[in-house]
Structure formats: C-alpha cells, structure tokens
C-alpha cells in the first residue's frame, strides 16, 4: 500500500477546501466564496484499497501580514510543507499572480514532488489554451504532473487521486481506516457556525470574527453546544445579531442542521456574540482562541 501526507496549497479562495471535501466524499472543511475562509490546518484522511492519502487543507498563502491573524495564516500554510510527501498546488484559471512567485521559491526549497492542478477548467472554453499554459508552466518548474480539474463539478478528481497515490511512499496505514479527520467534533462544530456566518453575512461579514465553543455536552438524546462569536467592535456585534436577532437566529438554524448531520444526534445550539477588542492583532488572544496549529 502507498500511504503518506499530501499538502493542498494555493492562494486564498482557489478551491482547496472544496477539493478536499470532494476527494473525501464528505464535508470536513468549511467553504464559502469569501477569501481566507480556511484558518486552520485540517487533516482529511482518505483510505482506499490502494492506500491512505492524508490531505492537509491549509489557509491560502497571501502577501498581507498586517495583523497577527494574517501572519498566523501564512505560518500555518508554510509549515504544512514540512513533513509531507506530495504537494498539490491548486491555481485558479490560466494565469499566474504576484504571490505565485513566492510559492515557486517555497516549492524549490521543499524539494518534493509537486502536482499542478488547474481548477475551474469548466469555465475555460479554449482547451488549447490549457495545453499552452501547461507547456509554459513546465518551463518554470519541474512539476511531476499537471492536470486540469473542477473541484466543484468533480472533473478529473479520480485521475488526480491516482496520480497522488502513485507518488506516495509504500507503507502501512498511518491512521485507522475508518478515521476521516484529526479534528474533534467540538472543533468542527465551531467551524460550521463560522461557515454559516460567512455565507449569511457575505460582504457585511467582519473579517475579525471567530467562533469559540465554550461548552460541549454529549447526552444520549441530545448534544448541547454553547458557542461564543467573537468580534472586535460593537458595530460588528450588531451586524452579526441583526435586526431583532433575526440574523443570529438564521445562523443558528443553519448551523444546527449541519452539526446534527455531522454527529448523528439531535443538537441544542446556543449562540452569544461578544466583543474582544483587537483580538485579531494579538498573539496572546489568538492562542487563547485556539489558533495554535
């Protein structure tokens, strides 16, 4: 069997979390159209007859390091390259961006086999343009493989899986075959709440928003979850709560439905919104809120 770790890297919002969820055939990473939705390193474990691929979904690599949170996201993405066996670099469309030059340098330093996956090819009408882009890319870096995919429409994902598995080293299973992630349900519940906030609020969403599970109680008939939504300013708190509490109520309903599907039990979910000034620019506050990958 082939078993090993696979880093999914790329700029923010290129579809890394969507790709991992479809490779696992189960939702582990939260997704949205808003950049930097992924904030933590999340393991997704896919065990098949051919072996075990352990995917590592990472925050998007980006230039901005204005706040402690931005620096944390970049550190998390970069340290994921340590100790992996294969890198899948996901890009969006047939063009390079400014920060891609930095990624090229990091890949050269890593010295690992790299697969270039061009996402959202269903939007590319000129297929010859894909071949031309791949020819140019091969001159820039010695990619092991280059493949056009659509993570959302699951185009060429089986072929991508075969390419990844062939590059992984031989060995026994690293995780039990029925395990799909290294994250506890408590963590996944917080992420689901944050996803629903991201999707409901859209452009109004305060960037400096995070979710902390204060209590997680498992009972035979019901699981009780008490969560705090942290923002940085009172005006942000008002946005999250909404008029007469309607926004918070909708977020809670959406999140409870997905959490119940995840854990297979009825859920009681209580949400509070609290202000912690400057938490996104404080290393100590980040540590206390669980940013410690």
Name the percent of the chain lying above pLDDT 90.
Answer: 60
- Res. 284: pLDDT tops 90: no
Average pLDDT over residues 117-127: 87
Q: Quick one: pLDDT band at residue 137, thresholds 50, 70, 90? A: very high
Average pLDDT over residues 148-173: 94
Maximum mean pLDDT: which of 178-182, 196-200, 201-205, 267-271: 267-271
- Res. 65: pLDDT tops 70: no
Confirm if 201 and 239 have CB atoms less than 8 A apart. Answer: yes
Q: Cα dihedral angle (66, 68, 74, 78), rounded to 10 degrees? A: 140
Q: Quick one: pLDDT band at residue 62, thresholds 50, 70, 90? A: low
The Cα–Cα gap between 66 and 112 comes to: 30
Name the average pLDDT for the chain.
90
pLDDT for 244: 94
Kindly list the domain boundaries of the chain, sorted by start residue.
Answer: 2-167, 185-288
Fold agreement between 2-167 and 185-288: no
Q: How does pLDDT run across 94-112, given as a tens digit for each residue? A: 888 887 888 898 899 889 9
pLDDT for 95: 86
pLDDT for 2: 95
Q: Quick one: pLDDT band at residue 289, thresholds 50, 70, 90? A: confident
pLDDT for 145: 97
pLDDT for 126: 85
Cα 162 from chain centroid (whole Å): 22
Q: How does pLDDT run across 218-251, given as a tens digit for each residue? A: 999 999 999 999 999 999 999 999 999 999 999 9
Average pLDDT over residues 199-212: 81
The pair phi, psi for residue 217, each rounded to 5°, is -115, 120
Domain boundaries 185-288, corresponding CATH code: 3.30.300.20
- Res. 5: pLDDT tops 80: yes
Q: Considering the domain delimited by 2-167, tell me its CATH architecture.
A: 3-Layer(aba) Sandwich (3.40)
The Cα–Cα gap between 3 and 19 comes to: 19
H helix runs in the chain, sequence order = 16-24, 68-79, 100-110, 127-140, 157-167, 185-201, 234-241, 246-263, 283-288
The Cα–Cα gap between 18 and 25 comes to: 10
């Amino acid at each position: 069997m082939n078993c090993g770790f696979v880093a999914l890297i790329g700029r923010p919002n290129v579809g890394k979390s969507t790709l991992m969820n479809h490779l696992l055939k189960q939702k582990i990473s939260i997704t949205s159209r808003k950049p930097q939705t992924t904030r933590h390193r999340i393991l997704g474990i896919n065990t098949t007859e051919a072996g075990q691929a352990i995917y590592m979904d990472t925050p998007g690599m980006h230039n901005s390091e204005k706040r402690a949170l931005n620096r944390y996201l970049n550190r998390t993405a970069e340290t994921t390259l340590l100790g992996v066996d294969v890198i899948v670099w996901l890009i969006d469309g047939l063009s390079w961006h400014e920060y891609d030059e930095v990624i090229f340098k990091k890949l050269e330093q890593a010295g690992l086999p790299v697969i270039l996956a061009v996402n959202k090819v269903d939007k590319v009408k000129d297929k010859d343009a894909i071949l031309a882009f791949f020819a140019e890319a091969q001159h820039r870096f010695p990619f092991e493989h280059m493949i056009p995919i659509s993570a959302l429409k699951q185009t060429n994902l089986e072929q991508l899986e075969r390419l990844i598995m062939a590059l992984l080293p031989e060995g026994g299973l690293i995780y039990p075959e029925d395990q799909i992630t290294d994250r506890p349900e408590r963590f996944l519940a917080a992420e689901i709440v944050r996803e629903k906030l991201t999707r409901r609020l859209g452009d109004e969403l305060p960037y400096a928003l995070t979710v902390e599970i204060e209590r997680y109680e498992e009972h035979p008939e019901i699981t009780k979850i008490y969560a705090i939504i942290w923002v940085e300013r009172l005006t942000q708190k008002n946005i999250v709560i909404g008029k007469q509490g309607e926004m918070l109520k909708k977020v809670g309903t959406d999140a409870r439905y997905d959490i119940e599907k995840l854990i297979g039990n009825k859920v009681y979910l209580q949400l509070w919104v609290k202000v912690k000034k400057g938490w996104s620019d404080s290393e100590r506050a980040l540590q206390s809120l669980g940013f410690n990958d």
